[in-house]
Amino acid sequence: MFGQKSGYPMPQDTATSPFNGSYTALITPFSNGKVDEAAFRKLVDFQIENGTHGLVPVGTTGESPTLSHEEHDRVVEMGIEQAAGRVPVIAGAGSNSTDEAVRLAKHAAAAGADGVLIVSPYYNKPTQEGLFQHYTQIADQVEFPQVLYNVPGRTSCDLLPETIARLAPHENILGIKEATGDLSRLEKLKKLISDETFFLYSGDDATATDFILNGGHGNISVTANVVPDLMSKLCDFALEKSSEAKVIENKISNLNEMLFLESNPIPVKWALSRMGLIDIGIRLPLTNLSKEHQQTLQEELLKLELI
């Protein structure tokens, strides 16, 4: 139901993604072990007020593996309610169970999301044919814009460019979040996929600038949780092929690195807590940022005048 493939309104330039720019992979705040709804709504407003182009709740950064089904659904609903149409919301809907991913995608569509982000199945280690059938079944059963999500460092399986090219023609598959950080993947995807209504998003903040400068359409970002204004400007400049994108990239390059000192979202949640936006809560098996890294990250937050 999106893009030229299915008749949903598109920009006049068909090579322009409906989800251009910086999309924040939102954290899920916890307080006393429960989802902190007030803090989550505050984060949504903070993001929109600081220029983010869109929101992506309950993905990897949102700790979706440790949310109950009820919590997952509620966070999606809150994101949509609080955004109130000000920016698009692409809801995380991935699972290592195909049937569960279908249910999550259907819920997001019914709740009013603008699209869903579907991570490759984790732990199962499917073959490329299994990945193709997984994504195809979801796209067949849910007539709704879907973004594939390849992050082999977290899933232990790699959605290869050739498989992505097989999936690209499906009318409900809008594009892919490519989080390998390997820019050669972008070039290979561009060569394999000629469809101008299939869009390419970075999922790696450190290489996002070059990804967009070389033909990508946006960035689904961890760093944007902390500096939504800078990341949105960076993406705008990169889409315009302006050298100003590199200026901002240099400014936040250390932050990009430090937010991955430990497994995401450990560092970003610590940073947001220091900024006074959330409590420090995180769910096991993840733990709070170790003391050996706290001073380094705090110094960078001070340097950027975030605390």
Residue bearing tokens 């050298």: 243
Active site residue 23: no
Helix 228-239 and helix 244-258: axis angle, to 10°? 140
- Distance from C-alpha of 30 to C-alpha of 124, rounded to nearest angstrom: 29
Active site residue 177: yes
Catalytic residue among 23, 122, 135, 149: 149
Which phi-psi region, left, alpha or beta, contains residue 21 (left: φ > 0; alpha: ψ -120 to 50)? Answer: left
Catalytic residue among 23, 135, 177, 269: 177
- Residue 162 near residue 133 (C-beta atoms within 8 A): no
- Distance from C-alpha of 152 to C-alpha of 262, rounded to nearest angstrom: 17
- Distance from C-alpha of 81 to C-alpha of 291, rounded to nearest angstrom: 37
DSSP secondary structure string for all residues of 99-142: HHHHHHHHHHHHHT-SEEEEEPPPSS---HHHHHHHHHHHHHH-
Question: 25-47 as b/e, with b when 16 or more CB fall inside 10 Å?
Answer: bbbbbbeeeebbeebbbebbebb
Question: H-helix or E-strand containing 221?
Answer: strand 218-221
Supply the residues annotated as catalytic.
149, 177
